[in-house]
Structure 1
């Protein structure tokens, strides 16, 4: 059988009873997804799984004849999940490869997005290694979307053409992640967070306006030596290229990531650059591995925190807003790291000042993403408190002190 085929031929090998796994983020395989949509009448009953997707989910038909499951809910599918027409899996990113290996999740076909093979026949997973790297070794069949615009990243992030069943050549821009703008509230929070980050730290931050604020505020500090861990973004590249951040050990990477989430600027920087090291979830989301770094600082957000210090980061007003991701893995790593710290940073109220995000208790059914005993430092635009060692009354008083004054008692 020919290895290089058209998208139509490749998707034509998929059976309606197959379970197909898509890559996440900026590695989304839009050409193959659209071909699934074109063949959807033939593929009624197909099961599709993915993590966070940035596109418009073309493979989900109006009649939802293709079953879809994910562990990260984005806007286009939120209503489908609430109506039971798409399914949310409450699992952390670190568990995904393990669940496929154990058979709890099924992978008949892995769709992957890679660079063209080098002279030795190895393709790079480029901007997304996380679970695609592992699932491609487990799936019965592997179909690769091969794209010259996919950067050839360094690290543990390659697959040999002998491990790929079918290859579809495309020449399309990668899906890009556009970071949100930084407002005044985020800027204040970001500056406060930087007070807890020592020079030489290993910094893990996610996506959103507060992580962007943290990065954009670094030039105004004495911080110039950091390693970024978990995810790579445009803001990190801007700091490196402007000379504000460097690594004193020129032989070690500045960015160690399982996903790159950004624009062509980030993708171009990562291409054949030893300062960016890409690794699968089993490494990056492994709290034991990450904790071996000294001064591992984990910065995560929250939708709500109650007066005990419990964190809800995925569910509000009866709706799922995201997913579990790798927050618990990184928080555990920071707690075990020599000199590490966990930071929960978020605005004290919603943008219209209708509801406090520091609450006396959660609504019934609200999931707890971070238990109270793992929450250490909490930051809002009204201040910073340290909950470590505080009793329940002291915790409540501390959290009320950084709530929006509009919602404080009395």
Structure 2
């Protein structure tokens, strides 16, 4: 059975040493007490201890970074982008399982937040399974916050007896909420909704624009969902009978498949005990073969910027890391291969002559581009025709910006 640690001051030194790489749950599943305890590991100030962080909505990673812990991430989403000295590994989200397996991303210790054990002695991963499940087989130790407020979700789970150490808590989980859509987002959402067909399987990102798009889909029927993240907007469409997954191929017919949840306390409470929303590993949600088997896909993602050739920049703006490559390329390519809709959305003002940062998604992987001025398919267009289409969507002369 696992060792029981003090929830107010957990001592992780028996399982974590200064040279280790630690992997921590992200979004609403952040085990904040365990992450904060990394600052007390002997020798932490030497810079040898690292923690892999995902999308964060707390300041815990900033605090451990100030103590000398190296914070590594796949991007700068949420508050992660504000962590001092953040080190970013540019990679497709689908590559994370292989990077952990090969030791390219060290995962000596995994920190989880889980639900209390059920009658069979198993703890669910709550609102985040994803790359944690893929990192577990390669970890020397697994330490969990067993939180009475953590929803018991369907899908990934771990035996309580297989945990090396635990803290027992009853606290509110971290939450995040998208901003309220404005006129631009609402206009984009209406154009996107016209591209989505009844019965399509959705994949969307997170943020104000994706939430606006979800609201615009209220008149559709029998949509499915297979992706990396669900939000309050997804839950609303499930409740309205719009997302039913009824036309998905088996074995996922009737199931909303996701890796994590990001939203309000209402979303987290609604997940508890549900069996129609399933949380799975990144190796399942982002694998090309698994995406292709999810039905006719409509993948809808936002870009920070798009250049006049159609390349997307999703990582940085103004010299700051505020985004990530993420799974956008994974899903765009899968949608195109399966005859689905591959859509990139952004306000017209963010179509530019040159990107502020690196290219995150190549122009060859981008089909539909949608702004408040309309929607255009770039597939099959020559460079000059692409520029003409993007100039139309930008509503201005992009050459004048060069």
TM-score (norm 1): 0.89
Match of 2:95 in 1: 95
For 2:184, what is the secondary structure of its paired residue?
A: helix
For the pair 1:361 / 2:354, whether they are aligned, the reply is yes
Distance in structure 2 (CA, Å) of the matches to 1:70 and 1:294:
31
For 1:368, what is the secondary structure of its paired residue?
A: coil
Matched residue count: 393
Residues 400, 249 of structure 1: CA spacing in aligned structure 2 closer, same or farther, 3 A cutoff? closer
Match of 1:389 in 2: 380
Q: Over aligned residues, Cα RMSD in angstroms?
A: 2.3
Distance in structure 2 (CA, Å) of the matches to 1:122 and 1:335:
39
For 1:176, what is the secondary structure of its paired residue?
A: coil
**Contact 1:190 1:213 survives alignment (8 Å):** yes
Q: CA deviation at 1:372?
A: 1.3
Match of 2:294 in 1: 293
Distance in structure 1 (CA, Å) of the matches to 2:377 and 2:243:
28
Match of 1:398 in 2: 389
Match of 1:272 in 2: 273
**Contact 1:380 1:402 survives alignment (8 Å):** yes
Match of 1:354 in 2: none
Distance in structure 1 (CA, Å) of the matches to 2:340 and 2:188:
19
Which whole-Å deviations, capped at 9, do the CAs of 1:117-158 have from their partners, x for residues lacking one?
A: 112211100110011112122210110110121111112x01
Match of 2:158 in 1: 159
Residues 398, 123 of structure 1: CA spacing in aligned structure 2 closer, same or farther, 3 A cutoff? same
Q: CA deviation at 1:59?
A: 6.0
Distance in structure 1 (CA, Å) of the matches to 2:245 and 2:256:
10
Match of 2:208 in 1: 209
Residues 163, 194 of structure 1: CA spacing in aligned structure 2 closer, same or farther, 3 A cutoff? same
1:5-404 alignment runs, 5 A limit: 5-7=5-7, 8-13=9-14, 14-37=16-39, 39=40, 43-44=44-45, 45=47, 46-58=49-61, 60-61=63-64, 63-74=66-77, 76-78=79-81, 85-155=85-155, 157-219=156-218, 221=219, 223-230=220-227, 231-248=229-246, 252-337=253-338, 339-349=339-349, 357-362=350-355, 366-404=357-395
Distance in structure 2 (CA, Å) of the matches to 1:242 and 1:2:
42
**Contact 1:24 1:128 survives alignment (8 Å):** yes
Which whole-Å deviations, capped at 9, do the CAs of 1:228-274 have from their partners, x for residues lacking one?
A: 22121111111222344434479833421001111222222222212
Residues 77, 269 of structure 1: CA spacing in aligned structure 2 closer, same or farther, 3 A cutoff? closer
**Contact 2:75 2:81 survives alignment (8 Å):** no
For 2:284, what is the secondary structure of its paired residue?
A: helix
For 1:300, what is the secondary structure of its paired residue?
A: strand
**Contact 1:40 1:66 survives alignment (8 Å):** no
- Structure 2 residues without counterparts, runs of 5 or longer: none
For 2:175, what is the secondary structure of its paired residue?
A: coil
For 1:97, what is the secondary structure of its paired residue?
A: helix
Residues 227, 105 of structure 1: CA spacing in aligned structure 2 closer, same or farther, 3 A cutoff? same
Distance in structure 1 (CA, Å) of the matches to 2:238 and 2:188:
22
**Contact 1:226 1:254 survives alignment (8 Å):** no
TM-score (norm 2): 0.91
**Contact 2:91 2:325 survives alignment (8 Å):** yes
